[in-house]
Amino acid sequence: MDSIVVTGGGPLSGQIPIAGAKNACLTLMPATLLSDAPLTLTNAPRLSDIRTMTTLLQSLGAEVQGLQDSQVLAMSSHSLTSTRAEYDIVRKMRASILVLGPLLARYGHAEVSLPGGCAIGARPVDLHLRALEALGAELDLREGYVHAKAPTGGLRGGVIEFPFVSVGATENALMAATLAKGTTVIKRAAREPEIVDLAQCLRKMGAQIEGEGTDTITIQGVDRLGGATHRVVTDRIELGTYMLAPAICGGEVECLGGTIALVSSFCEKLDAAGISVEETASGLKVARKNGRVGAVDVTTEPFPGFPTDLQAQMMALLCTAEGTSVLEEKIFENRFMHAPELMRMGARIEVHGGTATVTGVDKLKGAPVMATDLRASVSLILAGLAAEGETTVSRVYHLDRGYEHVVRKLSAVGAKIERVKDA
């Protein structure tokens, strides 16, 4: 198992290319199951989660090629051999549940294991199932699998009204509805850029969709979908993460491919904290305005609010801010597991349920710390950039699920960081 060693000190300078969005790509890949024609994705990130989804699709009989040194994924589901997504693959990643809607819509039946993923709360799949039931599906949960069957003649259009916003459930419902008979209306739909990206790809494949990016999406079902080539949208979470690097340790970094529209609420908090964000022809240029960062309060919310996937990284910044900040987590429970690790580095943090109070200190100090999930792992690396001495982050296999070439990208702008094999 590998660790990442960070030696703090010194400003950063240069450019960091931002990859295609992991969460978008993991949603776009199952869309190949909706058609027997080829689907090609460009700007695909090279991550372990993408490899896991590749393995899952291949286990169903789909052809998936690419992603060695390429950013292109060529997929085809012209001759699937199975509609059963096995536990041994699905348990590794929650996004695996996204094969359920496409399989059910195209083949009329599917068996999908209940998923796994990061340990950041329950994240149940009941909203996914409720959406499919609204389209006429018969569902049975037994022996850890969702057994789904469409009515005779296939799924039927219907009204899906979520009790609260769910990105994954919106994605599953959107894909399933493209082949359902009649019109489907999704109310209280997620508005994330990844949803918009999926809708745009499905439309290229021949789907009839209106309203993506709003809280009501309307889909007119079609008999079949075709092929398409689609560029994966920029990863707004990787973008926000690297924007925090110069904010934490000084300097100026340009994040290539970024736009303010992807991270507008995040940029508002950076501005309030004393961080300058300037849109350039190539991306976003980030630097401290002057002196020490100021404290700000943060509440995570569905898009366009502050992203839950940037909460841990923002906490790392606020550990050395002037004053006291309050972070309220409203999306996932149990998502402050990075706080005790930051406290090992000298941070002053108090956690009470879904609220963390952070009182800034002058300096963090390097220490051995352990990653508990994907976003927590990178927050500890960011904290290490600002800490005195050496920080060793263990269990970085979490990191490989969502960030490609972290060491290379940060080293290129002057960070002292290396990946080492544990003894």
Q: Any idea what the Cα angle at residue 112 is, between residues 106 and 114, rounded to 5°? A: 145
> Do 100 and 198 share a domain, yes or no?
yes
Query: Is 309 known to sit in a ligand binding site?
Result: yes
Query: Is 18 known to sit in a ligand binding site?
Result: no
> Do 378 and 356 share a domain, yes or no?
yes
Query: Is 46 known to sit in a ligand binding site?
Result: no
Do residues 307 and 332 make contact, with C-beta atoms less than 8 angstroms apart? no
Q: Could you say which of 231, 257, 273 is where a domain stops? A: 231
> What are the distances in angstroms from CA 377 to CA 125, 251, 310?
25, 23, 12
Q: Which domain holds residue 35?
A: 22-231
Burial profile 219-242: b = 16 or more Cβ within 10 angstroms, e = fewer: bebeeebebbebebbbbbbbbbbb
Strand partners, 113: 145
Query: Is 36 known to sit in a ligand binding site?
Result: no
Q: Is the peptide bond before 115 cis (omega within 30 degrees of 0)?
A: no
How far is the C-alpha of 93 from the C-alpha of 45, rounded, in Å?
A: 16
> Do 65 and 177 share a domain, yes or no?
yes
Q: Which residues participate in catalysis according to the annotation?
A: 118
> Do 259 and 144 share a domain, yes or no?
no
Query: Is 127 known to sit in a ligand binding site?
Result: yes
> Do 73 and 185 share a domain, yes or no?
yes
> Do 280 and 378 share a domain, yes or no?
yes
> Do 189 and 69 share a domain, yes or no?
yes
Q: What is the DSSP string of 20-58?
A: BPHHHHHHHGGGGGG-SS-EEEES----HHHHHHHHHHH
Q: What is the pLDDT of residue 398?
A: 84
Per-residue pLDDT tens over the stretch 213-252: 999 999 999 999 999 999 999 999 999 999 999 999 999 9
Query: Is 186 known to sit in a ligand binding site?
Result: no
> Do 184 and 219 share a domain, yes or no?
yes
> Do 212 and 243 share a domain, yes or no?
no
How far is the C-alpha of 342 from the C-alpha of 360, rounded, in Å?
A: 12
Q: Could you say which of 210, 231, 252 is where a domain stops? A: 231
> Do 132 and 240 share a domain, yes or no?
no
Please state the pTM of the whole predicted model: 0.92
Do residues 43 and 20 make contact, with C-beta atoms less than 8 angstroms apart? yes
Q: Could you say which of 231, 248, 276 is where a domain stops? A: 231
The series of mean pLDDT values per 10 residues for the chain, 423 residues long, is 91 97 96 98 92 96 80 95 95 91 98 66 75 96 92 97 94 98 98 98 98 98 98 97 96 97 98 97 95 95 94 97 96 85 97 96 96 88 96 90 92 96 75
> Do 162 and 94 share a domain, yes or no?
yes
Q: What is the pLDDT of residue 68?
A: 57
Query: Is 368 known to sit in a ligand binding site?
Result: no
Q: What is the pLDDT of residue 335?
A: 80
In total, how many domains does the chain have?
A: 2
Q: What is the pLDDT of residue 172?
A: 98
Query: Is 365 known to sit in a ligand binding site?
Result: no
Query: Is 317 known to sit in a ligand binding site?
Result: no
Q: What is the pLDDT of residue 80?
A: 95
Total residue length of the chain: 423
> Do 364 and 289 share a domain, yes or no?
yes
For the domain that residue 54 is a member of, what is the CATH number?
3.65.10.10
Query: Is 23 known to sit in a ligand binding site?
Result: yes
Return the SS3 of 69. coil
